[in-house]
Structures are given as C-alpha cells and as structure tokens.
Amino acid sequence: MEHKGFTIWFTGLSGAGKSTLSEMLAANLRGQGYKVEVLDGDVVRTHLSKGLGFSKEDRDTHIRRVGWLCQLLARNGVIAIAAAISPYREIRDEVRSMHNGNFVEVYVECPINVLAERDVKGLYKKALAGEIKNFTGVSDPYEAPLQPEVIVRSDRDSKEQSAAQIMDALRRRALVA
C-alpha cells in the first residue's frame, strides 16, 4: 500500500502510556496495510544512543537522533511512531521542524501521583523520596507541549479510548483513511 509517510511523536512522563499506545496504534495501522515503524525511546537508547547518559545534552542528542531517524522513515513513506519522554520543548520543536509539516505530536498526560501509584518498579516513590536524582517530572524538568495536535489523558481515559482519539485526529488531517 502506497501512502504518505509522517511521524507520530508521543511525549509524556515515564509510565504515562506512550509505549502502550504507540504499539496499539502501530498494530491498528499495520492491520490496515500501512507501513509502520515504532521507535521506542528506551529501545533506541540501547542501540542508536548507547553510551549517552541523562544529562540535558545527552537527552537532547538522543532525541535528535530519534527525530532524524523518524524523518528519514517518514520521507520514505513509512509512518514513524516515536515513544520517548522527550522532556524539552525546544528539542521537540526542532524535531518537528525537520519534518516539513509531516509531524503529529501526541501528549500523553497523566499526573505524577497517578504515575507513582501505577509504577511497579517504584521509581517515582524513590524519586519523590530523593533517592533517584534527575528523574524527569520530579527532580528534572518536563516541559509539556504548548500546542500538541492531540492530548490524551491516560489517568482518565482507557487505552482504547486514547488510541481511538489519536486515530480520529489522523483521519481529520487526512493522514490515514
């Protein structure tokens, strides 16, 4: 199936549901015959960004790499889906500018107290107690998007409702049928 490539960029705090929603969306789109690639921030970090830490400079470098790869895939007719915390607005905007309008930012919003309750690894509790330094949203900044194309609320809506909301937004923009 020939179709226009573009990037769906999920951003939000750790545990908000970016990876889950990106995989659901990818399965839905593949089921309709679209070429799709998911670039999960944690997975890409182990290959493309191996050796980078979590300083602002390293995080920015990682996001630029994921963004460049998404742009390359989108330019070649693939729907690239990125699921990365991507905490800094400036770098997300830089990635957006690489895409010449073929970019859909999805903000997966969820309050920290809900994320701490969901967190099976207990990372938020440790970060809130000061045991983990530079934890995004707790002791390191997270800059929410100012004008994302889609906002889903993972504390309020089911993952199915959120995925449907994203698909509706893609249809309204005539990116998918």
Phi, psi of 21 (to 5 degrees): -65, -35
Looking at every residue in the chain, the average pLDDT score rounds to 94
Report pLDDT for 151.
98
Comparing CA positions, the residue from 176, 158, 164, 128 lying closest to residue 14 is 128
38-81 pLDDT, tens digit per residue, is 999 888 888 888 889 888 999 999 999 999 999 999 999 999 99
Q: 95, 70 in Cβ contact below 8 A? A: yes
86 is catalytic: yes
119-154 pLDDT, tens digit per residue, is 988 999 999 999 998 899 999 999 999 999 999 999
Q: What is the pTM of this model?
A: 0.94
Helix (H) or strand (E) holding 108: strand 103-109
Helix (H) or strand (E) holding 62: helix 56-75
Which of 14, 86, 154, 162 is flagged as catalytic?
Answer: 86
Encoded amino acid at 172, one letter = R
